[in-house]
Amino acid sequence: MILSARGVVRSYGPTPAVRGVTLDVAEGEILAVTGPSGCGKSTLLHCLAGIIRPDAGEVTYRDQRVDLMSEAARSRLRRTEFGVLFQFGQLVAELTAAENVALPLLLAGTGRRAARTAALAWLDRAGVADVADQRPGQMSGGQQQRVAMARALVTEPRIVFADEPTGALDTLAGEQVLGQLVRVAHEHRTAVVLVTHEARVAGHADRELVLRDGALDDSGLGIAVPTGRHGR
Ligand SMILES: Nc1ncnc2c1ncn2[C@@H]1O[C@H](COP(=O)(O)OP(=O)(O)OP(=O)(O)O)[C@@H](O)[C@H]1O
């Protein structure tokens, strides 16, 4: 297992959002967490990715207790071992695609030239090499999300946390972005935790967990997505 959660609980004031979730993510696995709006998917993902701390329970990434780490240690983890991808790419509007993708490497201390070379390679893998020198405002939503995907993967994280990554795209663009994410993740043996309310999106995963009112439907083993649904 690359990531484990045990009895994760998180509330916002009196409102419980996640009520004791236990799950495991295997190395290289694409795990979908689905459920209706407001069931706690984003909150769970934020706990797993170390963006917020659970009120109770444990989150362990390769023998390291993420829930016990300082803010600085968690943000270091997110710059190196973890990648994050949100519904809106959150690209920096003033920077070109290549500059956006190079940014995490520059922050990690990589030299400018090496960072640009890696950024171009990842834009190519994401199928958007042609927009390398364009700014987000000049790109389609699908292109922006592919650039965001390249940026999430450029540091070669071991696990990517994706929150409704195709939520802002039309069906075709969404399918293409997701297909590419799954292909690249499998090639690089990167695990992906994918949160979505769309059943169609979950069809790309290896396994699906259903969250309702902040708790998993079953013991946390989940449903194996039938082979063939995601083209492997
Ligand atoms: N920052 C916050 N402050 C207060 N309550 C919050 C906050 N974020 C989420 N909640 C509440 O926690 C519960 C779970 O929200 P969460 O966003 O995790 O669910 P979700 O399944 O991701 O929903 P959606 O699919 O609509 O994004 C909801 O009742 C929500 O209103």
Residue range 111-124, pLDDT digits in tens: 999 999 999 999 99
Q: Which residues of the chain have pLDDT under 70?
A: 89, 218-232
List the residue whose alpha carbon is closest to atom 28 of ligand 1: 38
Which residues, judged by CB distance below 6 Å to any ligand atom, belong to the binding site of ligand 1? 12, 15, 17, 35, 37-43, 197
Q: At what angle do helices 112-125 and 141-153 cross, to 10 degrees?
A: 130
Q: State the pLDDT at residue 108.
A: 86
Q: State the pLDDT at residue 167.
A: 81
Nearest atom (ligand 1) to Cα of 43: 18
What structural domains and CATH numbers belong to the chain? 1-80+193-225 (3.40.50.300)
Q: State the pLDDT at residue 225.
A: 66
